[in-house]
Structure 1
Amino acid sequence: MSDLELSAIEARVLAVMVEKSITTPQYYPMTANAVMVAANQKNARHPLMSLTEGEVGNALTQLEEQRLVARDSFSGRVQKWRQQLMHQMMLKTPTQAVMVALMLRGALTVAEIRAHADALNGPEDAAGVEAALQDLADRARPLVQLLPRAPGQSASRWAHTLCGTPSADDIAPASAASARAVQAMASADAVAQSTALAARVEQLEKRMAELERQLGIEPSADA
């Protein structure tokens, strides 16, 4: 799919289908109306959209032609749809999560990608995010691009290229919710590192005590 290019609506439709297949599998496959509601959410979306069911239906038809979605053969009276992003683009689960986070939220820093991709089974750490981004960027048809750091930005941002060359408009304004998500992820990392360090110290103390016992050394008063 080296010549793949989607409209903004098609990218949004595809991304929300992947998102909902993971976060609310009980409501998947999805009807066009359900896709529309998800695409028009006012949170976790940039840019905000107000799509009609007709626009979503047209997008689904276009995506079907590119084999990125398919009609669910077990649908009842109302047609339902499945997404095929991972299969068609040969993505691993963490890499798909990174891609979808960018498709839903616009250009993001590595820390933001990690925080927002977490619910989509994304990479476990920043190194995993960077590896996924490198995989996407190194393809014959690059799927992501690193944007130049703008004045006042603390870190560079990445954007997907499915809708063409990214621009400054793809950068979502910083939100309190996004900042909290990044901070929560950083706090969780700190707790995990502290716990691992404590376990390591305890292990070393036990080994030292065993060594002293074998050598017949009396335990020190501080032990």
Structure 2
Amino acid sequence: MISSAGTDEHPPLTVIEVRVLGSLLEKEVTTPDNYPLSLNALVAACNQTTSREPVMRLGEDEVTHAAVALRRRALLRQIQPVGSRVTKYEHRLGETMELSRRELAVLGVLLLRGPQTPGELYTRTARLEPFEDHADLERVLEALMARTPEPLVARLPRRPGQKELRYAHLMSGEPQADAPGTADEEPPAPTRRAGADGDRVATLERTVEELRAEVAALRADLDAFRAQFQ
């Protein structure tokens, strides 16, 4: 079992390792035809501008280094399909940490987007693993917090001015406190129309990013196929 808080042998995951794991968890469900991911596709997934907080600009070397570290901890598998020269990557969180699809969906969204409220998680996990209602999702959160010997999720203190509690993953150790000046600031409530438009734009942007990741994976596989005849 991998300790979520980290040990001398296995320190907490870095932000890049977290992004790699979260991206693999997501793409396993959203782009199954291209999973496991080639390095190019994995880099593209890590660098998406939607469904990622914060947005990153990682290079192949950084992603490869993170993949090697995750493989040493049995959280990632590196494979080379028969007849292909392309190395591909898949996560092993489910088998290594004995997590269900529902737990993987919640953990994956937390890895990709940081601390979130149950309402945010309910909306964002819908494309990975649907939940019946908020109470159903919160039961999964409770199970992740109650795991032994180490919990994988923690409930954060309520921020001033906010009604809902937030939850964070513990794969990188204890969550960092909010930066000074941000906790007390409550963003203005959007109008109903603006919220609806924002949801549609976010959906379109997410679709575009997923298509880009698929194209990147297909291009990498095509290049590898061509290389076999050169």
Smaller-chain TM-score range? 0.7 to 0.9
Deviation at 1:77, TM superposition (A): 1.1
Name the SS of the counterpart of 2:19 in structure 1: helix
2:13 to 6, 9, 12: 6
2:76–2:92 contact (8 Å) kept in structure 1: yes
2:112 to 87, 104, 110: 104
CA deviations on 1:60-85 (whole Å, 9 max, x unpaired) are 10111111111124161121111111
Name the SS of the counterpart of 1:168 in structure 2: coil
**Displaced runs of 4 or more, over 4 A:** 169-176
Q: TM-score, normalised by structure 1?
A: 0.74
For residue 58 of structure 1, what is the amino acid of its counterpart?
H
Structure 2 Cα separation of the partners of residues 169 and 86 of structure 1: 30
Q: Which runs of no fewer than 5 residues in structure 2 stay unpaired?
A: 5-11, 201-230
Structure 2 Cα separation of the partners of residues 93 and 100 of structure 1: 10
Q: For residue 39 of structure 1, what is the aligned residue in structure 2?
A: 46
Q: For residue 207 of structure 2, what is the aligned residue in structure 1?
A: none
2:2–2:73 contact (8 Å) kept in structure 1: no
Closer/same/farther in 2, CA of residues 122 and 97 from structure 1, 3 Å limit: farther
Q: TM-score, normalised by structure 2?
A: 0.72
1:124 is aligned to 2:132:
yes
Name the SS of the counterpart of 2:69 in structure 1: helix
1:147 to 137, 156, 159: 156
Deviation at 1:169, TM superposition (A): 4.3
Q: Which has the larger radius of gyration?
A: 1
Higher relative contact order (CA 8 A, sep 6+): 2
1:78 to 86, 94, 104: 86
CA deviations on 1:80-137 (whole Å, 9 max, x unpaired) are 1111111111111111101111111111111111110111114221111111111110
Structure 2 Cα separation of the partners of residues 107 and 83 of structure 1: 22
For residue 99 of structure 2, what is the amino acid of its counterpart?
L
1:16 to 14, 23, 36: 23
1:110–1:126 contact (8 Å) kept in structure 2: yes
Name the SS of the counterpart of 1:120 in structure 2: coil
Name the SS of the counterpart of 2:127 in structure 1: helix
Alignment of 1:1-223 (within 5 A): 1-4=1-4, 5-74=12-81, 76-139=84-147, 140-169=149-178
For residue 128 of structure 2, what is the amino acid of its counterpart?
L
Deviation at 1:2, TM superposition (A): 4.3
Equivalent residue pairs, number: 181
Structure 1 Cα separation of the partners of residues 136 and 34 of structure 2: 29
Among all aligned residue pairs of Structure 1 and Structure 2, give the percentage whose two residues are the same amino acid: 38
Deviation at 1:165, TM superposition (A): 0.7
Structure 2 Cα separation of the partners of residues 89 and 151 of structure 1: 35
What's the RMSD between the two structures over aligned residues? 2.6
Structure 1 Cα separation of the partners of residues 108 and 178 of structure 2: 18
Structure 2 Cα separation of the partners of residues 95 and 126 of structure 1: 14
Closer/same/farther in 2, CA of residues 8 and 169 from structure 1, 3 Å limit: farther
For residue 83 of structure 1, what is the amino acid of its counterpart?
H
Closer/same/farther in 2, CA of residues 34 and 169 from structure 1, 3 Å limit: farther
Closer/same/farther in 2, CA of residues 116 and 73 from structure 1, 3 Å limit: same
